[in-house]
Chains A and B, each alone.
Chain A
Amino acid sequence: MISQLLKEATPSFAWWRNPEQWRTELFAGLVGAVLVIPQGITFAYLAGMQPEYGLYCAIFVTLFASVLGTSSMMSGPNTAVAILIGTAVLPLAGRGSPVYVDFVFLLCMMVGLIQLLFWLLRAGRIFQYISPAAISGISAGAGFLIVMTSLDSILGLSTFSTTFFYEKLYVIASDAVDLISPYSLGIGLCTIAAGYLGRRYSPRYFLLIAVCVGYLSGLLVAFIWPQPVTELEYLGRMPLQWLPFNVPTVNREYLMISTKLFPFAMAIAFIGLAQSLVIVRELKMGTDQDINLDKEVYAQGLANFLAPFFSSFAGAGSFNRTKVNQRLGARTPLSGIAASGFVLVLITLLGPVLTYMPMAAMAGTLFIVGADMIKWLDIKHYAQVRSELIIYLATFVSIMFFGLATGVVAAVVLSVSVFMLRISQLELKLEEMPSGTVVRIKGALFFASISQLTEEFHRRVDEDLTVDLQYTTHIDQSAVDFFSREAAQMAVRGKQLVLLVNARQLQFLNSMGLSGQVKLESLQDSVSNEIY
């Protein structure tokens, strides 16, 4: 066990062995770096942090996750994680203040630790129970939140929050002339328009086109009107260090705070892993990469735990960047490692230019990213199955109204309950035989599914019953008790209960103390079940 853990904990560097792949990986890394810079900056904003922390996240979380991981997944700043960090810490301290930053680091360490615990407990597989509809719902909800926050910067509002989103829209609409800054609105609209037009011509680089057009329109505005007039919000200089080493503050008072942060740390750890593992699973199914899921859990956990030591906040796998990465032919973690290096180089080179990046242009790109996450096609896709549709819509709507954390809880609860409902459903096949009714049971026979069988039994009180258990996947104590009880009652009425079982079931039922009133018929040649 321990040696297996140790093996998972050491980076494998398998990509080292095929140098012919390196060039592709490096190029994919470069594109990844270009994509992650605006995301890092804007997600830092969502997390309530200064932009450089987002870039550190793009550098270090990506680096650690890729060095330790086994897939070509691009980790780094992640929307849902960033929003959740914001919701967790904003009530405790003023956005961006030093205590705020300390709290965020504390929170991220907790997230990392929780994820490492997931790894130690081999809990990665519980994410298989989260329905894809829930993940889509969360992602759509996060997209909605992104669009709403991007409005702040596009319209040039100073941040104000309302309980529900429509109140905000109402306030903006009712006082548009006073609240909205025409300059930043102009820049924002140019950015968005450029993004949607650009997509027609270059679906790969349209975000880049959007940012560039936004930047240029910002320059144009600055050329005509001076800053004291426009009061435009710019990105500003970014004091990026190559090794932003930082020791997170941990003391008694902070540990008190950490109890308040704990539920959020859980939610973030969960949501981060859920997204990463969904991506990794897709990669594993769709490509021939040699992927180890547990190792990916470990990589995410350690990357997030180490993040605060490098002045960065927690991250997770990114759907959009992994997609691009894959399209460019990346197949190993080297692309992620390269991406993090390129971010550092690009920012150092672009620094002076980025200073005058209007936030409205950033927000415009964010708007596009957010709007893309709300996929109307998904609704159609899930409309086929009612339960999926309900999960999707309930998640989405509760995120819209009550925030991401609530939405995540709703999604988990709903998908687990759908899962429960589904496995507690028995498939009963009734056959009228001369010897009496034969009930064939498909599914798991356990405390939750027995009631269904009870109904069937009570409908046929005056018949001899034969129950065929060949296709039953699981039998538990309460099922054994049930059969004993029913057999006793039937015996009073002079009826007989027969169970058709295979050899293993026979042994099992006897060891569980099945009453002698049940007659067991062993089927030697039956298809026995592996899952017991």
Chain B
Amino acid sequence: MAKLNIFVVLLLLLQMSVVHAQQPQPQNQPTIEQLLQEPFLDDYYSNVVHGYEIITNSQKHASRYVGNALNCTTCHLQAGTQKDALPLNVAGMYPKWRAKNGKRNGIGLRIRECFLYSMDGIMPPEDAPEVLAIAAYISYLSQGQVMGVEPEGRGVPTLQDTGYDPNPANGRLVYMEQCASCHGEQGDGSGDVPPVWGLDSYNSGAGMNRIQEAAGFIWANMPLGNGRSLTHQQALDVSAYLNLQLRPADPGQSKFLKLLEDFLN
């Protein structure tokens, strides 16, 4: 009898452990708020928190490599957690092949490129602490995603062809009406609102400087808090307008200008 009892207990235990193993666990990772409360973090989570701090306040925590007045979160809204606003839960998509340099590139290069173009700064080295921290934060955000499968709402929505060319003149009207109240008539932003052009904004090599990309972003997210209120055509027009404005040079093209610019800045 006693033997049987032990057997039953063992069986139960086995069953429990199997059930336990089957449950997917990624959901119970601590939230950023919880992590921020912790007095002590291990290396991974401290990097996650550091990455979060860089994304939300690049001006302070990654000042070494930042050349303009933006933070990562000005484009990757809600610290990279908002769908259709370039969310950062994309760790499963890398490394990925790039025609540009004919190599497979990890998430590191993508991060460094955003520093170089979107933040108009200098490219951090692959193993810079800032890059590693952001990479850790991206893996943290990507918990629960399926590797290799594009997460829902990645990047920005692609706007269907409206049949009309984007019209900057019309875009100017839209801008003055809908955007200038926050971003300013000179596009230089103010307070918490980032500049959309000028020497303190992203440079001409940035993804945001591609009309399609910017239009998708603007249509889905701008005016802030009232996304998807513009028509596709309005979004395309206003991005064409933004595209024409003065901004820092593309570091990939004019090298000397770039250096001069940085000395003046």
Contact = CB atoms under 8 A, between A and B. Distances in A.
A227 B64 CA distance: 16
A159 B116 CA distance: 21
Interface stretch (A218-226, A331-339, A467-475): A218-226
Interface in B110-130: 113, 116, 121-130
Contacts of A225: 255
Given A97-B132, A226-B253, A356-B262, A239 B47 contact: no
A94 B64 contact: no
Interface of A: 50, 92-100, 158-159, 219, 222-229, 231, 233-234, 236-239, 251-254, 352-353, 355-356, 359
A97 B252 contact: no
Contact of A226 (B49, B113, B121, B255): B255
Nearest to A225: B255
B149 to A, nearest CB: 29
A95 B123 contact: no
Contacts of A251: 39-40
B41 A99 contact: yes
B252 to A, nearest CB: 5
Given A227-B123, A253-B39, A94 B129 contact: yes
Contacts of A159: 127
Interface in B44-91: 46-47, 49-50, 60, 63-67
A254 B39 CA distance: 10
B124 A236 contact: yes
B189 interface: no
B40 A97 contact: no
Contacts of A219: 259
Contacts of B128: 96
Interface string B229-265: 0000000000000000000000111011011001101
Contacts of B255: 222-226
Give the residue among A96, A251, A359 with the most B Cβ atoms within 10 A: A96
Given A50-B64, A97-B133, A224-B255, 13 more contacts: A99-B42, A158-B126, A219-B259, A223-B255, A223-B256, A225-B255, A226-B252, A227-B122, A236-B65, A237-B66, A253-B40, A352-B265, A356-B262
B43 interface: yes
B122 A158 contact: no
B155 to A, nearest CB: 21
26 contacts: A97-B50, A97-B129, A98-B50, A99-B41, A99-B43, A158-B126, A223-B259, A224-B255, A226-B258, A227-B122, A228-B123, A228-B251, A233-B125, A234-B122, A236-B122, A237-B65, A238-B64, A239-B60, A251-B39, A252-B40, A253-B39, A254-B40, A352-B262, A352-B263, A355-B262, A356-B122
A356 B259 contact: yes
Contacts of A228: 113, 116, 123, 251-252
